[in-house]
Amino acid sequence: MTTTLTRSPYGIVSYATYLPRHRVMRDELGTALGVRAGRGARVAASFDEDSTTMGVEAARRLRPAPPAPSSLYFATTSPAYLDKTNACALHAALGLPRDTFAADLAGSARSGIAALRSAGLDGGLAVLSDVRTGRPGSADERDGGDGAAAFLFGAADAAVAEILAHTSATAEFLDRWRTPGSPSGEQWEERFGLERYLPLIEDTAQRALKAAGTGQPDHVLLVSPNAAVRKRAPKVFPARLSASGSPLGYSGAADAGLALADVLDRAGADETILLLSAADGCDALLLRTTDRLPSARQHDSLARQLAEGRPVPYPTYLTWRGWLEREPPRRPEPDRPAGPPSARGEGWKFGFTGSRCESCGFVHLPPARVCKDCGAVDAMAAVPLAGTTGTVATYTVDRLAHSPSPPLIDAVVDFDGGGRCTLEIADTVADELDVGVRVEPVFRRLHTAGGVHNYFWKARTTAGTTARATAGSKASAAADTSEREGTA
């Protein structure tokens, strides 16, 4: 069965991506396992990141901050919860209105396309996010990547890219699969999938071009869970300007989004982009950039995010993913967050919203009813601070605390414009911290206890700070990360 959609009234009005800061160095991986793992680095989510937190970070980067979308579609193959809609946590963290529809599209690479398609149909927000895990030494581990992309759809006349056509082909065959609960996926002989995919790719691409009435596309993107298909990306379909695949390797449901964002980062105005996603069939999405694109690209390009980052020791990465079970800290495990207080504190816990006294201006984090400065009661205005930077007033490295990746670092952060809060520090080693260092709030998973993920905000050094701090050699970066693992 095939379908064709053309000339959507909606286009992409804003897009943004988020890549975690950590990198697994493939040469270290290869040395550790005694295998050939190639060169370069694999983008790795930190121990406190999951598809939900990365999705939040990508969507938060949309500029200008989106007017309330009619819907939120969250796509992933690594949902943090089942039976509970993960998109609700994104909805809360983004502070979207109560009447916004939010749903997960979870399970396979095609979920990413489904999110784009759905949001494209109703002017919604599509968030594609994934943590790709594979057994140590597997291709998924080595060639996978973790990250998230967000696309806001709106009126076509305000778009940076219009949707010209979307065609699909669906086919049932065994290429990539994973049973629920299994941490690692399976792959049939790659060449079988390749043979199946090639005609489907050709078919959907041709139909999309025909439906749109355009000629050879300027840019062609081909993503797929099948590695043999991915290798064909540069040549499977002719392009006028560029032909490429996933910028990260394979990033699951986020792959199509990251590839699309990458080309939007560099495409010119009035260029066509053919996005081909070969997963359980094939989807072809044909877009045309508008003259609004060059001035409306995401602030932090995917290429730049990719070039940044710091090595994480391979054993640490294995520990984060649960492949290596290390001795836990000799402290009791934290309690699981309770449902009612978490719901009452939704604005604080998920939205990082404090309160400002309307009488004297004192900012309370968390929000309070009685002002600590002037004593005014119930005279507070909400202060969302997720987008506000701050300065480290003081900090400490806690080697005793229970942490999924000790030692825990906490900092007292004074936010620009008022407000102080003690927050855990993310993605940063003690060496990079100092009094006066600039930080920004990031949405993270503090820990998981009793099957409940404790989502809250941490602080991490701003990009500029990191650039300075990691300007040293790779050796010093490696030393930094090993310091984080230190067991004093």
The contact set with other proteins (CB under 8 A) reads 330-332, 334-338, 340-342, 344-345, 348-349, 362-366, 372-373, 393-403, 408, 410, 412, 414, 418-424, 435, 446-447, 454, 456, 488
Residue 113, SS3? helix
Q: How far is the CB of 129 from other proteins (least distance, A)?
A: 22
Beta sheet of 310-311, edge-to-edge order: 41-44, 22-25, 310-311
Contact 44, 312 (CB under 8 A): yes
Q: Which is nearer to other proteins, 33 or 452 (CB)?
A: 452
Q: Which is nearer to other proteins, 135 or 331 (CB)?
A: 331
Q: How far is the CB of 459 from other proteins (least distance, A)?
A: 11
Rounded to 10 deg, the angle between the 110-122 and 255-266 helix axes is: 60
Q: Which is nearer to other proteins, 240 or 399 (CB)?
A: 399
Amino acid residing at 70: S
Paired with 272 in beta bridges are: 288
Q: How far is the CB of 50 from other proteins (least distance, A)?
A: 15
Owner of token pair 């489904």: 114
Q: Which is nearer to other proteins, 47 or 73 (CB)?
A: 47
Q: Which is nearer to other proteins, 67 or 340 (CB)?
A: 340
Owner of token pair 């520990």: 319
Q: How far is the CB of 80 from other proteins (least distance, A)?
A: 15
Q: Which is nearer to other proteins, 475 or 488 (CB)?
A: 488
CA distance 254 to 168: 18
Question: How crowded is residue 488: how many other Cβ atoms within 10 Å of its Cβ?
Answer: 7
For the CA atoms of 456, 48, 17, 10, what is the dihedral angle to 10 degrees?
-50
Q: How far is the CB of 418 from other proteins (least distance, A)?
A: 7
Q: How far is the CB of 113 from other proteins (least distance, A)?
A: 35
- Reply yes or no: is the peptide bond before residue 407 cis, omega within 30 of 0: yes
How far CA 310 is from CA of 80, 257, 475, in Å, comes to 25, 23, 10
Q: How far is the CB of 481 from other proteins (least distance, A)?
A: 18
Q: How far is the CB of 414 from other proteins (least distance, A)?
A: 4
Amino acid residing at 383: V
Taking alpha carbons only, the member of 288, 5, 243, 269 closest to residue 122 is 5
With vertex at residue 22, the alpha carbon angle to CA 16 and CA 61, rounded to the nearest 5 degrees, is 15
CA distance 481 to 257: 30
Contact 311, 25 (CB under 8 A): yes
Q: Which is nearer to other proteins, 182 or 394 (CB)?
A: 394
Q: Which is nearer to other proteins, 250 or 320 (CB)?
A: 320
Q: Which is nearer to other proteins, 298 or 353 (CB)?
A: 353
Q: Are β-strands 353-357 and 363-364 bridged in parallel, bridged antiparallel, or unpaired?
A: antiparallel
Count of residues for the chain? 488
Q: How far is the CB of 169 from other proteins (least distance, A)?
A: 45
